Chain A
Amino acid sequence: MGAAQQSATGIGSENGTRVGPAGASAGVLQPHTVGERDMVQLLDAAGNRRHEDTFGPYVDELDAETLRGFYRDMAVVRRFDAEATALQRQGELALWVPVVGQEAAQIGSGRAMRPADYAFPTYREHGVALTRGLDLADLLKLFRGISNGGWDPRENNFHLYTLVLAAQTLHAVGYAMGIQRDAAADSASEPAAVVAYFGDGASSEGDVHESMVFAASFNAPVVFFCQNNNWAISVPFEVQSKVPLVNRAGGYGFPGIRVDGNDVLAVYAVTQWALDHARSGKGPVLIEASTYRVGAHTTADDPTKYRASAEEEAWRAKDPLQRLETYLRAEGLADDDFFAQVKNDGDELASHVRRATLALGGANIRQKFATVYAEAHPLVAEELAWFENYEAGFAAADTQTSQGGAA
């Protein structure tokens, strides 16, 4: 497996270059050909376990309970996603960002993290949020217009969703540099790393480039986790890049791994490897998880306008849940009772999220006045005072009106 593996990690002799055509200058670095590169896969689309030397051992040591947990997480997130989509259709959310199809990339990478590690998500990391222990109902505050955040990131080391794509990759690198500074000040501090999530669309943003430059220059303990779901709303991956994104790692001077993003075992294993690499002071790693956004970009989107249903069907055949179910059943690791229980867990989570969302109540403009600045601010205070006076005027008018009506 060695040669293919080396190519997949970008660590091997080939490492981003290939021999150019005869007559080409020896000094010319030739680009990769477009198309499939070697991809780490431990569970194929049919549910067959594949042997692999570097990453396989990370999965070999997992017990049945953990493997069933991967399935459970993916299944309940899918159920949660369906409930959130329904809530949007019923007018309870302004918008929803479906995650269906990307469950393995998110559960696999999220489960590889330790509590001391820190995740910086985009706005679609609902599966990662589950692995970090968030109450998923909190995710919906953003989409219901109650909050622009919704949870305290410090409780679960899961940062707020970032909508200006790629901005969070720099925050992730900075946070990782902060971990480095803390480790330098206290050698007994627990080693930790950061996972910076982004997608194929955001990979074109300058901030991703700058974040990789900073991460490389300062050897920051960060794992860049790119979910290449092939579509940036309506624009296909080929418009973002002519080569697999993993190839870029070589340009920055750190390892890159391309992984089957619909194989939760492989994603878990490569993320473990990358986090170990980062935590041990060896610097950043780029992971490109090849996956597919089976649903729409958001509930405001219509994929029938820009892509063929045959493509969607081809990817549905690579479904991350189905292949793990096949494997668990074939190995005798899970039975009908387990899958029934998972369905029940999903329904309970969905029910909880629906109840919690409908009970959220409204937002408070006074809370917004109170959180513009951390310290007292005269302009905010003046405008709040004006607003209170203005509102009080309506209240007084209402009182007069009702008194007049009663007389």
Chain B
Amino acid sequence: MKTMTIAKAINEGLRATLANDAKSFLMGEDIGSLGGVYRVTEGLKAEFGAHRVMDTPLAESGIIGTAIGMALRGHRPICEIQFDGFVFPGFNQITTQLAKIHTRSDGQLSAPVVIRIPYGGGIGSIEHHSESPEALFAHTAGLRIITPSNANDAYWMIQQAVSCKDPVIVFEPKRRYWLKGEVDTENNPGDPFTAHVVREGSDATIVAYGPLVPVALAAANAAADDGHSVEVIDLRSISPIDFDTVEASVNKTGRLIVAHEAPTFGGIGGEIAARISERCFYSLEAPAIRVGGFHMPYPVARVEEHYLPDIDRMLEALDRAFAY
């Protein structure tokens, strides 16, 4: 066991990948000498060379599009998109090309490209630097989407993403980059496309992922002071979603809260609420309740505290669930 931040855990995971897979390489803006704007790739260019840690021109479509071409040739590109809001110039390549190449070729080709995207708010940043666009990608068949919430998952999930034969987007919770945790570099935590119960409880279930997992845990602790036993699920994988784990929990607790920073409308929470309503109809004591961002472009930093789900917003949702 080693203690490290999430950023360092991803760095170590990338180091292990580069060492183990000669076909793998990193590409993105400012990831070489600078080590990325969040220093996630720090030191890797010096260790593996510019050939394996490639600074690209400032062009996201170019990054994704050329990565597809290199993957078709048998290489394993790991792309960094600098910030969530800057993925959109590459959106066409991701959704019309990368996601479809396997089915378009009737299963003959695959383009196992990994795309790392720091996402989410809470860092007081400027426009386009705090967004949570995961639902836009989850809606696109052919992509897999995972998001670690702790250092151990961060270390392993990036390596598992590179091993996967499908394209994988790894959304990294940027405001938790400096959150420290224990990393077991010997034993991986198993299938990355599964949810984990990170706190057991009996009265309600909060499903969260990425940056909101610590918030959900804090809310569950606060609810315990009021005598409520709240289970917390770290979704880990946004596509596919491990509905079985959520279903088992809700059948036990009878109440479901889903929380994410992204707007609730058309979001992942709605998808989970709908599916769990079907699966757990007779177990539910209350309707599934979503806690998330408002239907507005991500607001200016000075008011983001009102936008982002926090402990009180989750407790308010729990109160409503218990009121039924």
Chain A nearest CB, measured from B26 CB (Å): 13
CB-based nearest B residue for A150? B106
Query: Contacts of A378 on B, CB cut-off 8 Å?
Result: 193, 240, 242-244
Q: From known contacts A375-B165, A375-B166, infer whether A174 and B59 are also in contact, taking CB-CB under 8 Å.
A: no
Q: Are A148 and B104 in contact (CB under 8 A)?
A: yes
CB-CB contacts below 8 Å: A120-165 with B: 147-149, 152-154, 159-160, 162, 164
Contacts of A184 in B (CB 8 A): 51
- Interface stretch of the complex, out of A91-99, A209-217, A275-283, A315-323: A209-217
- A153 & B69 in contact (Cβ 8 Å cutoff): no
Q: Pick the interface stretch among A27-35, A55-63, A351-359, A363-371.
A: A363-371
Q: Is A254 positioned at the interface, with any CB of B under 8 Å from its CB?
A: no
Stretch of B93-101, B201-209, B218-226 on the interface side:
B93-101
Instruction: Please tell me if the beta carbons of B108 and A181 are within 8 angstroms of each other in the complex.
Output: no
Contacts of B46 in A (CB 8 A): none
State in angstroms the CA–CA spacing of A41 and B70 once bound together: 35
CB contact between B109 and one of A153, A185, A375, A377 (< 8 Å): that residue: A153
Q: Are A175 and B103 in contact (CB under 8 A)?
A: no
- Given contact pairs A177-B70, A178-B69, A214-B57, A167 touches B108 in the complex (Cβ within 8 A): no
Docked-complex contact B97 and A164, CB < 8 angstroms: yes
Q: Could you tell me the distance between the alpha carbons of A367 and B25 in the complex, rounded to whole angstroms?
A: 33
Interface size class for chain A? 35 or more
Which of B56, B67, B106, B109 makes the CB contact (< 8 A) with A147?
B106
Query: How far apart sit A359 and B154, CA to CA, in the bound complex (Å)?
Result: 51
Given A210-B57, A214-B56, answer yes or no on A167-B65 (Cβ-Cβ < 8 Å): yes
Nearest residue (CB) in B for A120 is: B69
Check if B73 is an interface residue, CB within 8 A of chain A.
yes
Residues of A near B92 (CB, < 8 A) are: 164, 167, 207
Question: B59 to nearest A CB, angstroms?
Answer: 4
**Pairwise interchain contact A371-B102, C-beta atoms closer than 8 A:** yes
What is the CA–CA distance of A214 and B66 in the complex, to the nearest angstrom?
8
Q: What residues on B are CB-neighbors of A361 within 8 Å?
A: none
Number of interface residues of B (CB under 8 A): 49
A373 at the interface (CB under 8 A from B): yes
* Closest B residue by C-beta to A377: B240
Counting CB contacts under 8 A, is A388 at the interface?
A: no
Chain A's nearest CB lies how many Å from the CB of B97?
5
Contacts of B96 in A (CB 8 A): 164, 167
Q: Are A149 and B69 within 8 A (Cβ)? A: no
User: In the bound complex, how far is the Cα of B242 from the Cα of A184, in angstroms?
Assistant: 42
Question: Which of B59, B89, B242 is packed against the most chain A CB atoms within 10 Å?
Answer: B59
Kindly list chain A residues whose C-beta atoms are within 8 Å of the C-beta of B193.
378
B141 contacts the other chain (Cβ, under 8 Å)? yes
CB neighbours of A210 from chain B (8 A): 57, 59, 61-62, 65
A176 to chain B, nearest CB (A): 7
Q: Is A374 an interface residue (CB 8 A)?
A: yes
Complex A-B: 12 CB contacts under 8 Å: A152-B105, A164-B96, A167-B92, A169-B65, A170-B64, A171-B72, A174-B72, A175-B73, A181-B25, A210-B59, A214-B59, A378-B240
